[in-house]
Structure 1
Amino acid sequence: MSSITYVLVHGAFSTAAAWGPTARELTLRGHRALAVDLPGHGLDARETGMAGISTADDVAAVTAVVRALDGPVVLVGHSRGGLTVTAVANAVPELLAHVVYVSAWCCVTGGPSTYASVAPSALDALAPRLLTADPAEVGELRVDFTAPDARDELQDALLADGTRTELLAMLATMDGRESLVVDEAAVTVDPECWGRVPHTYVRLTADRALMPALQDRFVADAEALGLPFRVVDLPTSHLGVQLRPGPLVDVLDDVRVAPS
């Protein structure tokens, strides 16, 4: 069987750089790993920002990467990256051997608006203070993660189990812009397609940016459709899982795929 390749998809305002420790650990264990920058992020940043970038652009970018790889692909999404993972699995299930959600959005019974009020997080409360422009006017979300008066709250929401130095290092890898519009239909589970791909949910029990209650709702809704997740709990925070990736890589190491 050809080697598994783990394709790592970042979350909102993030970049491929956030997956650096995870990709390094996977590689040291003999795996192939590729972290992607979604359109408009990281090294794919554009002069026009995120305005006009759509879910379809994200799906096209990730699908192009998956098509270019030889052998089984395990697609891994963190946080908002779960929306892209779902949309890709809906569109091209035949290209994927497994999908893994790491405290990630997995909308089952409707789009993100269906789940927005399930379990408001510490980050939700802080978000309005981080905005630097009216999204309706600029066509994208713009935030400032460097505001000194927000650091205590960002620490609590994103990396309560880490140091301030670690938080600032992680924030330095993040973008201040994010796409505004999500295609709710595209990122909602299509049982006939998504259901063909084995799926794992890595539940972060100390996450205060995407609350365990919301993670549980995604898992329960999939179970109700007869499409249960393999669920693994890790006692870490939203960014701690990427900063100290050993336990996550243990989970990824244990992903089983059918022979190609």
Structure 2
Amino acid sequence: MVLILLLLWSSPLSSVSAASEWDSALDEIHNLYTDYTGLQTLLKSDIQRNQELRKQNNTALAAVNKRLQATDALQLGRLRTAAEAMRKKHAPLLEQYTSLGKQITAARKANNLKSAALLEIKRNKLKAGAVAARAEVKTATSALAEAKALTAARNKPAKDALAPVAKLKKQIAAQNKLFSPAQADRSEADKRYKAAVKAGDATGAAAAMKLSYTRMQEIRTMVGQMYSWEQQISTALRAAELKLPK
């Protein structure tokens, strides 16, 4: 602080009015300096605290999502494979049966009854096999659907607990859009303050210091709000972890 005052005093102004303004500016800097530097330290600490909690939350969220994806994964994988194999096994027969039905319809529309009769004979020959094939495919597909529903029910309590996280993250993202320009404005004010100190411009230094201090107050409020939201995310994650399927 003494060095800053010495730098500013090194370039006094000749005008009595200007000197009075210069002295007033020195007093403003003197009175605000402790709060200004203290707020810098607090803000740096708050930002670091937010970053650490956000990192912890992101890690925890990834872990919870991984656990949710792993619920009944082996059973669902087996049933999914079985259903797909059943569909592939019976696909040729069912496609042929369906195609014959379309051909019969087309022949009847064209009033080609002979062709329709011959096609119907072919289709009826396949009917029993097609009915059985559809039943097997339906059984395999239903087993998979039922297992998915059971898994979803098991995951639901944890997913419900996670529900607030997406909205909170959107709020944080929106706040960050306001944070960035405020931080840039504050950084520019700090540069002007340092340049004014170097030039012995007490009036300019005081104005820049006050602007930077105001921006830091605004930024700290934003940072505090984002921290509150991160804490809510952390609470939601802990609740979700407790409700994960065993």
Q: Whose strand proportion is higher, 1 or 2? A: 1
Q: Which has the higher contact order (CA 8 A, sep 6+)?
A: 2
| Greater gyration radius | 2
Choose between structure 1 and 2: higher helix proportion: 2
With the length of structure 1 as denominator, give the TM-score of the two structures.
Answer: 0.20
